[in-house]
């Protein structure tokens, strides 16, 4: 396969990138900068070689244990459970949370054949037995995320001394009441707080 066609094909395999976009990206790199193509190639190889799964929390990182598990300033009493490693980046950007994480590696989804045994759950229970005071369930506000949260609650609630919380539902900041869906508005009413 000619080099140009091969790169178009490889770009086109990425999610959300169709053939037209793949062509655009390929010709952009060809026209503007072979150096940029090499830098992107280098970053890809580095990720393939260096990134591994943290043995404690299953976060993806250059290090094992990852930067959060290895950080002595973070509280070991709080554990935030997320579906994917990418969710950690979003939470860290908010800049408030100072506890540790646990990555499930997905969510319950019977239609896709993903049950509890496909998720990183047993190590979670092990960790909870080692002095964690609060589990913050931060699965996505989707049907599967809710089902996963319910499953985790049932699993964790027998453990004594562990508080189980989940992230608040409500109107997104900067959002518009007019365009919010009914379920979100209902959740915002149910979770209303005194001013």
Q: Which residues bind a copy of itself (CB under 8 A)?
A: 2-4, 6-7, 9-11, 13-17, 21, 23-31, 34-51, 60-62, 67, 84-86, 89
Minimum gap (Å) between residue 194 Cβ and a copy of itself = 35
Nearer to a copy of itself, 128 or 145 (CB): 145
Minimum gap (Å) between residue 130 Cβ and a copy of itself = 27
Q: What is the DSSP code (8-state) at residue 109? A: B
Nearer to a copy of itself, 8 or 128 (CB): 8
Minimum gap (Å) between residue 161 Cβ and a copy of itself = 34
| Residue 76 to residue 72: CA distance in whole angstroms | 9
Tokens for 110, please give them.
């019977």
Nearest Cα residue to 78 out of 181, 189, 165, 186: 165
Nearest Cα residue to 165 out of 96, 79, 69: 79
Nearer to a copy of itself, 48 or 177 (CB): 48
Nearer to a copy of itself, 14 or 183 (CB): 14
Minimum gap (Å) between residue 50 Cβ and a copy of itself = 4
Given a contact cutoff of 8 angstroms between Cβ atoms, the answer to whether 162 and 134 are in contact is yes
Nearer to a copy of itself, 33 or 157 (CB): 33
Minimum gap (Å) between residue 103 Cβ and a copy of itself = 10
Q: Which residues contact 46 (CB under 8 A, 6 or more apart)?
A: none
Q: CA 80 → CA 3, 8, 100, 118, 138, distances in Å?
A: 45, 39, 6, 19, 6
Look at the alpha carbons of 65, 87, 143, 167 in this order and tell me if their dihedral is positive or negative. positive
Q: Which residues contact 67 (CB under 8 A, 6 or more apart)?
A: 61
Minimum gap (Å) between residue 47 Cβ and a copy of itself = 5
Nearer to a copy of itself, 12 or 123 (CB): 12
């Amino acid at each position: 396969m000619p080099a140009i066609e091969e790169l178009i094909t490889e770009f086109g395999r990425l999610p959300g990138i169709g053939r037209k976009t793949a062509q655009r990206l390929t010709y952009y790199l060809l026209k503007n900068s072979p150096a940029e193509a090499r830098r992107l190639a280098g970053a890809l190889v580095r990720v393939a070689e260096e990134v591994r799964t943290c043995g404690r929390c299953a976060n993806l990182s250059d290090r094992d244990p990852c930067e959060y598990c290895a950080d002595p300033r973070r509280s070991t009493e709080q554990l935030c459970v997320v579906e994917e490693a990418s969710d950690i980046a979003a939470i860290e950007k908010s800049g408030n949370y100072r506890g540790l994480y646990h990555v499930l590696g997905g969510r319950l989804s019977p239609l896709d054949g993903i049950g509890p045994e496909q998720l990183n759950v047993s190590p979670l229970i092990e960790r909870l037995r080692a002095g964690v005071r609060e589990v913050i369930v931060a699965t996505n506000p989707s049907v599967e995320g809710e089902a996963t949260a319910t499953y985790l609650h049932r699993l964790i609630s027998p453990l004594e001394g562990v508080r189980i919380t989940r992230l608040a539902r409500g109107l997104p900041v900067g959002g518009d009441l007019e365009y919010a869906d009914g379920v979100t508005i209902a959740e915002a009413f149910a979770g209303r707080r005194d001013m």
